[in-house]
């Protein structure tokens, strides 16, 4: 089947989702016509496949279905006149009129989580909605033995945002450990939309504390193998996000058999439970204003999870628990996480998309 695939490819979440969908559409022998949004960021051999799919534009059939994977406030444009499917990732608990209007331009919506489907239904989004979880490449993100050198290593892979709770993580890390504790925290979080001084201000939240020498900053790489290596070098991934549309790095850490600390809210509730993750319970919601991406003008009165003293205390407890187990040689591979990741693969994602675009 010919499919017009419309969306960005880069190192951010939308870009990685689009890249994996494109690769698996091609793998399953679909005729992929790729229409990029923005500058393409990719490396070989992916660049060859991407360029090949762009060249397929010369043979496009305007009646072929279109899949657009992009922001929920930018869906009114599509390629051709065929059936139109969309997939968006949002982090707010209600959608304003603009977002609803754009989503209503779809013929079918591929919902990345049950939570997202519920938010859309409650906000008045009308088209048919199908749960279509993103996947994880278990050939790349696969388990390796834990490091056995007497150091507990945590990692956080994201980008600097209030929503990602890095300020809360900095507070928790300082309170959880002493200077003599053998712990390290690796952070890959530079935000490409920020000037360097703003990225540095976020780093200083960690560097200016008493444990600043235990925090290491890692460049976010286009090479997914580098992300897999970072996860496998560490014992536990920390993602105390106030809301997520999916959270790729959590699923990738589960696939690697690493322990995960994350929030019991939003998309993560579709694949994280008490068997495979350490879940931070929330006891309220707060307006999701951060002065940058989320403002009253852009999202109205939408909310996300409230992070207060109780949530920070839970984060401290979980980090200390991981460290204690590591020091006592009781920390094992997260087999429940590995088994969870096996359920979520990109081939299944693409099968749902193509079946519903016929």
**Residue 282 shares a structural domain with residue 332:** yes
CATH at residue 337: 3.40.50.2000
In a domain, 100, yes or no: yes
**Residue 103 shares a structural domain with residue 167:** no
In a domain, 351, yes or no: no
Q: How confident is the model over 121-165, as pLDDT tens digits?
A: 999 999 999 999 999 999 999 999 999 999 999 999 999 999 999
Q: Residue 77 sits in which domain range?
A: 2-132
d(CA 139, CA 338): 12
Report how far apart the first and last C-alpha atoms of the chain are (Å, whole number): 8
In a domain, 311, yes or no: yes
**Residue 234 shares a structural domain with residue 292:** yes
In a domain, 350, yes or no: no
Q: What are phi and psi of 111, to 5 degrees?
A: -85, 125
**The token pair that represents 144 in the structure block:** 């390796």
Domain count, the chain: 2
In a domain, 354, yes or no: no
Q: How confident is the model over 290-327, as pLDDT tens digits?
A: 988 898 888 889 999 999 999 999 999 999 999 999 99
Residue bearing the bigger pLDDT, 264 or 193: 264
**Residue 14 shares a structural domain with residue 159:** no
**Residue 121 shares a structural domain with residue 158:** no
User: Computed from CA positions of residues 286, 287, 290, 292, in that sequence, does the dihedral angle turn out positive or negative?
Assistant: positive
In a domain, 272, yes or no: yes
**Residue 126 shares a structural domain with residue 47:** yes
In a domain, 66, yes or no: yes
CATH at residue 96: 3.40.50.11930
- What is the distance of C-alpha 337 from the center of its chain? 16
**Residue 34 shares a structural domain with residue 117:** yes
**Residue 337 shares a structural domain with residue 205:** yes
Neighbours of 221 (CB within 10 A): 14
In a domain, 139, yes or no: no
Share of the chain above pLDDT 90, in %: 94
**Residue 52 shares a structural domain with residue 166:** no
Residue ending a domain, choose from 98, 132, 166? 132
Coil, strand or helix: which one is 298? helix
**Residue 101 shares a structural domain with residue 160:** no
3-state helix/strand/coil string of 238-249: EECCCCCCCCHH
Q: How confident is the model over 169-220, as pLDDT tens digits?
A: 999 999 999 999 999 999 999 898 899 999 999 999 999 999 999 999 998 8
């Amino acid at each position: 089947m010919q499919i017009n695939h419309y969306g960005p490819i880069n190192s951010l979440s939308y870009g990685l989702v689009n890249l994996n969908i494109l690769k698996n559409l091609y793998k399953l022998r679909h005729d992929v016509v790729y229409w990029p949004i923005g500058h393409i960021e990719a490396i070989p051999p992916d660049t060859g496949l991407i360029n090949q799919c762009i060249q397929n534009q010369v043979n496009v059939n305007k009646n072929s279905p279109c899949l657009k994977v992009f922001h929920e406030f930018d869906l009114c444009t599509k390629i051709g006149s065929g059936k139109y499917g969309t997939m968006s990732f949002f982090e707010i608990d209600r959608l304003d009129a603009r977002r609803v209007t754009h989503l209503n331009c779809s013929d079918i919506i591929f919902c990345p989580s049950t939570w997202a489907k519920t938010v859309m239904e409650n906000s008045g989004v009308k088209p048919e909605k199908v749960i279509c979880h993103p996947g994880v490449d278990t050939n790349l993100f696969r388990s390796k033995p834990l490091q056995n050198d007497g150091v507990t290593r945590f990692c956080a892979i994201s980008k600097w945002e209030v929503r990602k709770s890095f300020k809360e993580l900095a507070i928790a890390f300082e309170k959880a450990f002493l200077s003599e504790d053998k712990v390290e925290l690796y952070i890959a979080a530079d935000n490409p939309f920020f000037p360097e001084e703003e990225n540095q201000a976020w780093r200083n939240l960690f560097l200016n504390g008493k444990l600043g020498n235990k925090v290491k900053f890692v460049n976010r790489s286009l090479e997914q193998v580098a992300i897999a290596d970072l996860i496998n070098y560490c014992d536990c991934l920390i993602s105390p996000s106030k809301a997520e549309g999916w959270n790729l790095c959590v699923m990738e850490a589960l696939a690697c058999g690493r322990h995960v600390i994350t929030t019991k809210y939003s998309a993560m509730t579709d694949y994280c439970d008490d068997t495979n993750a350490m879940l931070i319970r929330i006891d309220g919601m707060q307006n999701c204003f951060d002065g940058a991406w989320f403002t009253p003008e852009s999202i109205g009165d939408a909310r996300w999870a409230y992070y207060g003293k109780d949530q920070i205390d839970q984060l401290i407890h979980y980090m200390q628990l991981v460290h204690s187990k590591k020091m006592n040689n009781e920390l094992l591979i997260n087999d429940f996480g590995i088994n969870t990741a096996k359920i979520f693969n990109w081939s299944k994602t693409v099968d749902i998309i193509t079946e519903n675009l016929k």
